[in-house]
Amino acid sequence: MKNFSKVSVASEARTELHDQLGLTGAEVSINHLPAGAGVPFVHSHKKNEEIYAILSGKGKAVIDGETVELAAGDWIRISPAAKRQFFAAEEADIHFLCIQVREHSLESYTKDDAVV
């Protein structure tokens, strides 16, 4: 068995990489909303925080009733309990990456987790 997995993805409205990459500690999705569109539901989570990276375009997130403007290059972390919904701008698409991980589960990182 290899110690890595690789996949190429097409430009879909949403691509979840959990099964495609065999992820065991996170969920990663690549998302695209066309201009004027929005995610059709508000949601929160039981245990997982979400980290969003805006890859291109612009839009907004409504988080616990607060509107947060988003543009390419922005990163945002949202706690599990926060109610959230995402929208593309009226005049522009938005492409974003979402990384979902269990809140408070990071025990070490970068050099502290490296084996040399």
Domain positions in the chain: 29-105
Give the type of residue at 82.
A
26 Cβ contact list (under 8 Å, min separation 6): 99, 100, 101
pLDDT (tens digit per residue) in 64-92: 999 999 999 999 999 999 999 999 999 99
What CA–CA distances, in Å, run from 54 to 2, 39, 59, 60, 83? 31, 15, 9, 10, 19
Length of the chain, in residues = 116
CA gap 17, 26 in Å, rounded: 9
Q: Which CATH class is domain 29-105?
A: mainly beta
pLDDT value, residue 111: 81
Distance CA 95, CA 99 (A): 14
Of the CA atoms within 13 Å of residue 86, those in its CB half-sphere come to 26
pLDDT in tens, 47-59: 999 999 999 999 9
Give the pLDDT confidence score for residue 115 in this predicted structure. Answer: 84
Residue 7: the pLDDT is 87
- Summary mean pLDDT of the chain: 93
**Whether this model's pTM surpasses 0.85:** yes
CA distance 49 to 22: 20
Q: How far apart are CA 12 and CA 38, in angstroms?
A: 15
